Chains A and B, each alone.
Chain A
């Protein structure tokens, strides 16, 4: 009987068009995705340049798995429906009396459905295989086909997942006899997976996460998340214990679920029902069997078929539909789970470094976006449910013969969906408010909630509702419709990869909006609403088309539906249609016109080609001698009301070279500008595309001679949809590079070598090596100046304060505008900014330095911390390195951006970055990042504004790594060494994770290309460890000598080599290897405790025997592991019972060994250090014995993770 049922089922699916539709969709999707990542659209859009192989085992698994997740949404209608179909067709009443066993029936049903799903999944593999190899894909991104990649992804991940989720869905649908229930189960499982993943995201719980993730993703990530680019490209996913345990665990769960189905399934008539309440006691019921002749006298009622009444009826029907949605338990469960997600998101939003942020309303709204998926799913699903509701309930025979017009029925479904969306948005508001109250935060901006949720967000969901209802009406199968809608909504953003970049062509796309405390929504709303209104019209067009195809009664074929649609396309309908379509197209054209015709818009392809053209045309002038800017005087007038600026300025320039300069290369932007030189000249080349002009001087500028450039710059007027000015209403923050001209060719070239090769450009070495003495003429900040005199007059509206570097000379009001004149009394880098906003000011002093914080009213929370941070950083830097060069230090708030930036005596600081951090000062609290950022930025007044590196590799080590080092040291004094472990582990994790996304190459710290993960995370780890190895005083002493030598120097500028040499000079020979490992190479340790035991001695002390392994290797710039330095000098060790030896570079390393115990301090167990000393290690395998005074609980090798180690979890072991 098994085979009969089994093959009957397969035949059933083979005959269903849906099977082939699903296959086609998956095939096309995977083909598209594979071909896109392999660069097939490079000819029409920007080049997919990358050092990443797209069909590497990791790449195949990622894409294969990602697409296979979509198939879970088909489970309810394929696996779930296999048994449910028999119920629905009421076949079960006959079938279940047949002589087959439960096992035959269940297994045949389940496995036939699994086979169908499996076949659909196969099309993904086929689509990928073909997609990668379509003509036109970039062969550099592809390696030879390796069946093992597909096979491993398939049997290790996809197939077990299908079995697990298939079994669960099978169970749910079989017992509830409700496909929607199966569907909700899938969504819940995906949600739950997301929740557990975010709950177990910290490095310590990765093993647990790896075990518990039902998809197996976290299990493979446990081994591969730190893989370098080389490893990702070359290596197969290791089939190691955790992956196998995970798979076995979940296969076990799948069998268990199926076993439960087997146990509880009975061939019975009625669905299982679960009741929360006790069963009502049964009562014998007898109906009346006699009587029943009644006189019929229907009451006189009035019937009204007017439009008004139909509208009223529409509203009333929508209420009925709405009640149906709200009462259905799929909806209830989505809302409940959605709420949990929102709460988790709220608790997590804006919490860098474990420090929470004050729950501002806008932040709550941002956290509420975790609910977006739930709202979309509900919209897609219930659009289908409502459209097909009367058909599913078989009420259409009654409903369709009533005189209610079609539009009324259709409209009522739309209104019901919108009501549902409003309810869901209310859920966001309520949970946000509850969260605020829970946190004891009472500044609840109800108006903001209402405006954003019901004004701005709702319209976005309404546009989706239009699409959902239209598609569901046309398709008439709610689950197929849902699937199509999911694919559409996921695919739309990817259209950019295929060269469809403009939002005007992509349904419901458009510019977004973002709120911040200082500037509110700024000017983003007009654009947002314009696009949304445009898409509302687009959605209405779809709705009208769908209305033509609305099914009333029982049409039998597509042809018939077409005929009916044609008949319904009456004159009034046609007029409405043409009007709305016309409106849609007109608006689309207007938008297109505003963004493309009246505005220079370049596609990413054009931008790429222009970058090439720019380099080819002008790179030849790179080393052409140019005068240096030595003085800058600017007038900057900010017109806040219409967001314009007008500026004028004067550059004083000197020929510092020893040759005569005959031409000036003026590199400016496309703001309307005028330029006037103090020397006679002719404009020999004017480039209006790249804005690179060449002026030939009549008399060459002789060495030592000077000249001036006077310029004016203003913005083009802001127009509909296009903002041409960086000025905002409250909180303008602009710097000179955005506005003012510079001299000479300034780079901005394509960096990916494969892309460059395509355009016949030579490989890019990014920047010269620091040992290249000819390349030290410029700082990495600017190419046309060294140190300048600076003076600025800034004007703004009367109610704002405007700030620029320098000291305030004068402040006055004239014609309703407020003027500020700033002048700097010492030399600064040619790098300055203008800020303007309605500021409050807090003042303090440190020694003779006046401290000021310009902040937004209401952001008073952390001003003290910032003041303390400024003082602490000023103190540490001036004590250890050199005096502070200014008499004043200002922090200036700007709206948002998540960063702060240090300008001379002025530090613009993001309003969302620290101003609203809710710092927990207790020992368990997170890192006080407000303080840390303040210290870091203040340190830049030394490490950038005194010591500035030449524009060569490794320059950012001198500024960013050192500022980060200072921040760590100051923080350590504040928080203690224990707390530093948190910070360092986070830095280590961030470094190891970020380097896996490297697109070009990773260089050692002192030769780095400027990547954030090297200059911040690795830099802080290295300097902190170094200060530990050679001593903070020794290191700072070396740095002090270095600063003394290089601060405010004229070219040639200093380099990382210079600084490292200073450090080397104070480092003992035995530790010189540390410099080599940390600065000159990328060196990674693999340290672990193998075995440890402690025995109590007779004298009450404890003997601790520790067996541990130490090994290290180098990475090349693609991440390949190298175990030998010169020749084959690696050392190796073969552990017992293993076949592969552990390799390592030669070791003469000093590694910390630590022994710890736990002590009860006020009720909580706190770790206490019994022993911590560096041991010299020369072999991989080591055994030592240490005597300690108290009973130890834990031992560790490099226990504080000071060294870079990809598995920091095995550095410690509990006893």
Chain B
């Protein structure tokens, strides 16, 4: 099933246009929504998840008109917000049972079976009797996935799920997500380019409420083949290079020199070496092109 977003706009009371006439089409599989902090990712995901209403536009998931028939979407939706809490003094098992009830599972045995399964999947079975409020960040995030799975969702929306997780937790989390994402649409927002590279078969870059670019990760990299150049410079030369070239990123080396990456159709000069394009480059190029042209 396809998620089709057309002309979506949302302006907040303080005048911020969080979503700006946005159009997007998302098919089955993992979809990465990449964007810096404040790009409007959460606003977009909350809007798709029926938590807030847009000013205008439409969202269709298959033949469900999301804005008109929120209940229909909620039946097939799995949503994990950027930050969430849990009720104190409730164990994972009790809380999942509670969510299973909310999600329409009437039979007690059914609830038991599915709660056990999602606890297994997320590796929480051993701590199922413990209060969720006492979980570590990674465990809590896995609990978030567990509750999301209860209604066997067709559309999964996860908002910056890997922020703050240690490498082991992050991998485990992404693996589970990948696993569940094979047969449905998973929208996955992040500002970590790495996540998208590892997981997604489609992606979009969002900033200022607009889609700057939509492509598959490999396709996006392929587009840049032969147009990314790198050079090692002194720290003091940075400003000059910035002015002269289309500078994408710069990293310090151990000897305090800088590694810079530059976007250019041709080799800027012989000091530059051609490098394999990375997803980071795609991201920075998209953001750079969207930047307001400042008076020079």
B235 within 8 A of A: no
Q: Which 6 pairs, one residue from A and one from B, show the smallest C-beta to C-beta distance?
A: A394-B85, A397-B81, A553-B51, A301-B110, A402-B102, A292-B172
B120 within 8 A of A: yes
A397 touches B105 (CB 8 A): no
B123 touches A292 (CB 8 A): yes
Partner of B50, one of A289, A327, A394, A553: A553
Contact with A along B57-94 (1 / 0, CB 8 A): 00000000000000100110101110111111100001
B102 touches A313 (CB 8 A): yes
Known: A299-B113, A395-B87. A289 touches B168 (CB 8 A): yes
Residues of the B chain whose Cβ atoms lie less than 8 Å from the Cβ of A94 = none
Secondary structure call for the A interface: loop
Partner of B51, one of A296, A400, A404: A400
Known: A401-B49, A554-B51. A313 touches B179 (CB 8 A): no
Known: A292-B176, A294-B176, A298-B152. A402 touches B103 (CB 8 A): yes
A404 touches B102 (CB 8 A): yes
A556 touches B12 (CB 8 A): yes
Residues of the B chain whose Cβ atoms lie less than 8 Å from the Cβ of A295 = 179
Query: Which of A304-312, A499-507, A652-660 is near enough to bind chain B?
Result: A304-312
B102 touches A317 (CB 8 A): yes
A324 within 8 A of B: yes
A403 touches B136 (CB 8 A): no
Shortest Cβ distance from A399 into B: residue: B102
A288 touches B123 (CB 8 A): yes
A317 touches B50 (CB 8 A): no
Known: A288-B123, A298-B117. A557 touches B98 (CB 8 A): no
Shortest Cβ distance from A324 into B: residue: B87
Residues of the B chain whose Cβ atoms lie less than 8 Å from the Cβ of A312 = 106
B87 touches A403 (CB 8 A): no
Shortest Cβ distance from A389 into B: residue: B87
A-B contact pairs, 25 of them (CB 8 A): A288-B123, A292-B171, A292-B175, A293-B175, A298-B152, A302-B106, A313-B101, A316-B101, A317-B98, A317-B102, A320-B94, A324-B87, A324-B89, A394-B83, A395-B86, A398-B79, A398-B147, A401-B74, A401-B77, A401-B79, A402-B99, A403-B74, A553-B51, A554-B51, A556-B12
CB proximity to A under 8 Å, residues B96-117: 98-99, 101-107, 110-111, 113-114, 117
- A sample of 20 more A-B contacts (CB under 8 A), given A309-B104, A553-B53, is A287-B139, A294-B123, A296-B149, A296-B180, A299-B110, A299-B113, A301-B111, A313-B101, A324-B89, A397-B79, A401-B74, A403-B103, A403-B104, A403-B151, A404-B102, A405-B71, A553-B46, A554-B52, A556-B13, A557-B13
- Cα–Cα, bound, A516→B149 (Å): 60
A560 touches B87 (CB 8 A): no
- Cα–Cα, bound, A327→B144 (Å): 25
A812 within 8 A of B: no
A403 touches B71 (CB 8 A): yes
Shortest Cβ distance from A395 into B: residue: B85
A393 within 8 A of B: yes
- Cα–Cα, bound, A879→B172 (Å): 104
Residues of the A chain whose Cβ atoms lie less than 8 Å from the Cβ of B151 = 303, 402-403
Known: A393-B85, A401-B51. A303 touches B105 (CB 8 A): yes
Residues of the B chain whose Cβ atoms lie less than 8 Å from the Cβ of A324 = 87, 89
Q: How large is the interface on A (under 10, 10 to 19, 20 to 34, 35 or more residues)?
A: 35 or more
Residues of the A chain whose Cβ atoms lie less than 8 Å from the Cβ of B86 = 393, 395
A440 within 8 A of B: no
Q: How large is the interface on B (under 10, 10 to 19, 20 to 34, 35 or more residues)?
A: 35 or more
Tell me the minimal C-beta distance from B147 to chain A in angstroms: 6
The A-B contact count (CB < 8 A) is: 141
Residues of the A chain whose Cβ atoms lie less than 8 Å from the Cβ of B51 = 397, 400-401, 552-554
Tell me the minimal C-beta distance from B46 to chain A in angstroms: 7
Residues of the A chain whose Cβ atoms lie less than 8 Å from the Cβ of B171 = 292
B107 touches A301 (CB 8 A): yes
- Cα–Cα, bound, A564→B50 (Å): 13
A290 within 8 A of B: yes
- Cα–Cα, bound, A403→B75 (Å): 5
A301 touches B113 (CB 8 A): yes
CB proximity to B under 8 Å, residues A550-592: 552-557, 560, 564
- Cα–Cα, bound, A305→B80 (Å): 22
Partner of A398, one of B81, B110, B136: B81
Shortest Cβ distance from A564 into B: residue: B53
- Cα–Cα, bound, A400→B106 (Å): 18
A320 touches B98 (CB 8 A): yes
Known: A295-B179, A320-B98, A402-B151. A395 touches B49 (CB 8 A): no
Residues of the A chain whose Cβ atoms lie less than 8 Å from the Cβ of B105 = 301-304
B121 within 8 A of A: yes
Residues of the A chain whose Cβ atoms lie less than 8 Å from the Cβ of B77 = 401
Tell me the minimal C-beta distance from A52 to chain B in angstroms: 53
Residues of the B chain whose Cβ atoms lie less than 8 Å from the Cβ of A557 = 13
Tell me the minimal C-beta distance from B127 to chain A in angstroms: 9
A298 touches B46 (CB 8 A): no
B75 touches A303 (CB 8 A): yes
Tell me the minimal C-beta distance from A551 to chain B in angstroms: 11
Most chain-B Cβ atoms within 10 A of its Cβ — which of A287, A296, A304, A556?
A: A296
B84 touches A398 (CB 8 A): yes
Tell me the minimal C-beta distance from B42 to chain A in angstroms: 10
Tell me the minimal C-beta distance from B97 to chain A in angstroms: 9
Tell me the minimal C-beta distance from B157 to chain A in angstroms: 9
A298 touches B84 (CB 8 A): no
Tell me the minimal C-beta distance from A1074 to chain B in angstroms: 73
Residues of the B chain whose Cβ atoms lie less than 8 Å from the Cβ of A395 = 84-87
Residues of the B chain whose Cβ atoms lie less than 8 Å from the Cβ of A297 = 117
Shortest Cβ distance from A313 into B: residue: B101
Residues of the A chain whose Cβ atoms lie less than 8 Å from the Cβ of B147 = 398
Tell me the minimal C-beta distance from A83 to chain B in angstroms: 20
Tell me the minimal C-beta distance from A920 to chain B in angstroms: 49
Tell me the minimal C-beta distance from A653 to chain B in angstroms: 82
Tell me the minimal C-beta distance from A550 to chain B in angstroms: 14
A327 touches B89 (CB 8 A): yes
Shortest Cβ distance from B108 into A: residue: A316
B149 touches A298 (CB 8 A): yes
Shortest Cβ distance from B143 into A: residue: A398
CB proximity to B under 8 Å, residues A324-359: 324, 327
- Cα–Cα, bound, A320→B180 (Å): 29
Tell me the minimal C-beta distance from A404 to chain B in angstroms: 4
Shortest Cβ distance from B81 into A: residue: A397
- Cα–Cα, bound, A296→B117 (Å): 9
Tell me the minimal C-beta distance from A399 to chain B in angstroms: 6
Most chain-A Cβ atoms within 10 A of its Cβ — which of B106, B151, B175?
A: B106
Known: A317-B98, A403-B103. A554 touches B79 (CB 8 A): no
- Cα–Cα, bound, A389→B150 (Å): 22
- Cα–Cα, bound, A296→B51 (Å): 28
CB proximity to B under 8 Å, residues A258-305: 287-290, 292-299, 301-305
- Cα–Cα, bound, A324→B87 (Å): 9
Residues of the B chain whose Cβ atoms lie less than 8 Å from the Cβ of A296 = 121, 149, 176, 179-180
Residues of the A chain whose Cβ atoms lie less than 8 Å from the Cβ of B123 = 288, 292, 294
Residues of the A chain whose Cβ atoms lie less than 8 Å from the Cβ of B103 = 303, 402-404
Shortest Cβ distance from B71 into A: residue: A403
Tell me the minimal C-beta distance from B117 to chain A in angstroms: 5
A304 touches B106 (CB 8 A): yes
- Cα–Cα, bound, A555→B50 (Å): 11
Shortest Cβ distance from A296 into B: residue: B179
Residues of the A chain whose Cβ atoms lie less than 8 Å from the Cβ of B87 = 324, 389, 393, 395
CB proximity to A under 8 Å, residues B113-161: 113-114, 117-118, 120-121, 123, 136, 138-139, 144, 147, 149, 151-152
Residues of the A chain whose Cβ atoms lie less than 8 Å from the Cβ of B79 = 397-398, 401
Contact with B along A61-104 (1 / 0, CB 8 A): 00000000000000000000000000000000000000000000
Tell me the minimal C-beta distance from B148 to chain A in angstroms: 8
A554 touches B84 (CB 8 A): no
Tell me the minimal C-beta distance from A1045 to chain B in angstroms: 83
Residues of the A chain whose Cβ atoms lie less than 8 Å from the Cβ of B50 = 400-401, 553
Shortest Cβ distance from B75 into A: residue: A403
